[in-house]
Structure 1
């Protein structure tokens, strides 16, 4: 009887062992199929759009679910204007350049570009403890997130080249940034040259103005004003002309951060710089002539020049204080 009981026990253990091994093998195969399915879905989505938009459910499916043999570049953003994110659109455009460059290079199934908007995935923000936007994160295939897996935008910015370099450091994947060609500048420059050539042709019998020093001086001043006011930044970033404040709903002409600006702001800064330049020109002209008959005129020009420089330079410092919080200096205006 003991021998029979012993044999039954051994038989039961063998059956349990075979069942356990079969279950483990089945689980392993199921996990492999699930991973392959996820990769295929990601490839299909990335073929449709270089940046895969995720919500709470898709984030759990493609980013949180294990096992995972691919890296995910995740952008947390808030593109809805009511959210008041001033730089989200500009950062999204640069991120789009990176994702498009990756797809143009051929891409692979080891790296995917994704994005979560706050309005569609606020649970993702909460799980990652993100209380600001935009945020760029690298989710590795294995292991926990490290500090370096979050791009330090405040220190290095969010240009496409910067993002690509950071991705290469985190994943070892190098990519060449390819920007879409902009022929607008070439066309505008060509039209300008045609206009200048036509004007010179029509005035070919009276070209004395080409020797006018004041004309060249004002051209140089105009070029300096164009560059110092931020027009090139507008050309690259494409910011809005102005924007409503999310709480007060009032129009804002001056951006509240040093990381951005409005088109209207550049015109305001250009006008203030022009007024300061005119003030210095008037001071210089007043000091040039010292004849007795021009003393009264020179005095008026000197006073007007001083007022222009003092008032409009103070306005420039006031704008600078508004954009760079904590700047301690001011002159006439706070």
Structure 2
């Protein structure tokens, strides 16, 4: 009930602002020149930044002031770290993917523009539109009346470029045309195929030449340990969510293998965490073997030092990874 009240309140506020904002000029020719200049500036801005980061003055001029014959898809967010807005960064990245797909599509025109406003840069706009939380996306239509359906609330909708595209396509009157979002390339399918072929080939070889492994306790212990490590690294979560192997940021061109938010994970990140767990486990096994084995003292010392190094180094890296994803995590050993 409270959320419905907020949606209706924002809708009424935006409608009131659009009607109350005065025309730039009463003369039709002068108004047309103003509109053409605004569109030209927006097109130039879009060529530089597919998502235009507006301040209060720019938002008032390009969005609230008339004349305007284009729609604006505006994201309201809070990206400063001290705001502790966990979904904001991921939502902005997906918003960038959507805007990039629109900019490089054949349907691209001067009828739809993408903008972003940060609370700490434009608090006046948040206050004026009664936007009290983020992230949230508003569709500010060119001619039709603003309604509650023009609000994309991430609290009840999915944070993904594909879902936002469906919503934008519907709200902009099909101006978006037929195009697909430029999603990151998935590399994990050929990787999985290669791993599967190697495992099947190795299993066939072992079954043909050495069948005694079936009765080996060590074999089943290692198999169970691998399963536990894989599951504790996030394998099932990734399978359910359909996470990509990695992601290329459209605005930087860099490929990221680790997601720096605690509620999302890439496939590559799962493999990295699995490697950390394996090395930590191997270090524990070496320490245990060195303590109970009857081999000569030099080999036991080497095993102890190796096991201790594996345990300390990879556990420290694991804690660093946790701190990267959850910035207020307090524990560390060797590294930040």
Whether contact under 8 Å (1:101, 1:175) holds in the other structure is no
Q: Which residue of 1 aligns with 2:195?
A: 192
SS of the aligned residue for 1:119 comes to coil
What is the 5 A alignment of 1:78-157?
A: 78-106=78-106, 107-142=108-143, 144-157=145-158
Q: Which residue of 1 aligns with 2:237?
A: 230
Whether contact under 8 Å (2:75, 2:138) holds in the other structure is yes
Q: Which residue of 1 aligns with 2:33?
A: 33
Q: What is the aligned length?
A: 226
Distance in 2, Cα, partners of 1:129 & 1:158: 22
Structure 1 residue 33, shift from structure 2 partner: 0.6
Long gaps (5+) in structure 1: 1-24, 243-259, 271-334
Distance 1:167 1:206, change over 3 A: same
Whether contact under 8 Å (1:76, 1:136) holds in the other structure is yes
Coordinate RMSD, CA, aligned: 3.8
Q: How big is each residue's C-alpha offset from its partner over 1:151-180, in whole Å with a ceiling of 9 and x where there is no partner?
A: 132333232121111112211224433234
The TM-score, its normalising length taken from structure 2, stands at: 0.56
Whether contact under 8 Å (2:238, 2:265) holds in the other structure is no
Whether contact under 8 Å (2:98, 2:161) holds in the other structure is yes
Distance in 2, Cα, partners of 1:144 & 1:239: 39
SS of the aligned residue for 2:171 comes to helix
Whether contact under 8 Å (2:43, 2:110) holds in the other structure is yes
Q: How big is each residue's C-alpha offset from its partner over 1:279-311, in whole Å with a ceiling of 9 and x where there is no partner?
A: xxxxxxxxxxxxxxxxxxxxxxxxxxxxxxxxx
Whether contact under 8 Å (1:55, 1:121) holds in the other structure is yes
Distance 1:181 1:211, change over 3 A: farther
Q: 1:177 pairs with 168, 171, 180, which one?
A: 180
Structure 1 residue 64, shift from structure 2 partner: 0.9
Q: How big is each residue's C-alpha offset from its partner over 1:14-40, in whole Å with a ceiling of 9 and x where there is no partner?
A: xxxxxxxxxxx9822111111000001
Q: Which residue of 1 aligns with 2:13?
A: none
What is the 5 A alignment of 1:282-301?
A: none
Structure 1 residue 128, shift from structure 2 partner: 0.9
Distance in 2, Cα, partners of 1:37 & 1:199: 68
Structure 1 residue 228, shift from structure 2 partner: 7.1
SS of the aligned residue for 2:142 comes to coil
What is the 5 A alignment of 1:14-29?
A: 27-29=27-29
**Highest RCO, 1 vs 2 (Cα 8 Å, sep ≥ 6):** 2
Distance in 2, Cα, partners of 1:96 & 1:209: 52
Whether contact under 8 Å (1:164, 1:175) holds in the other structure is no
Bigger CA radius of gyration: 1
Whether contact under 8 Å (1:91, 1:134) holds in the other structure is yes
Structure 1 residue 80, shift from structure 2 partner: 1.5
Whether contact under 8 Å (1:70, 1:140) holds in the other structure is yes
Q: Which residue of 2 aligns with 1:300?
A: none
Long gaps (5+) in structure 2: 1-24, 248-257, 274-336
Q: Which residue of 2 aligns with 1:57?
A: 57
What is the 5 A alignment of 1:231-310?
A: 231-232=238-239, 233=241, 235-236=243-244, 239-240=259-260, 260=263
Structure 1 residue 110, shift from structure 2 partner: 0.5
Structure 1 residue 229, shift from structure 2 partner: 5.5
SS of the aligned residue for 1:76 comes to strand
The TM-score, its normalising length taken from structure 1, stands at: 0.56
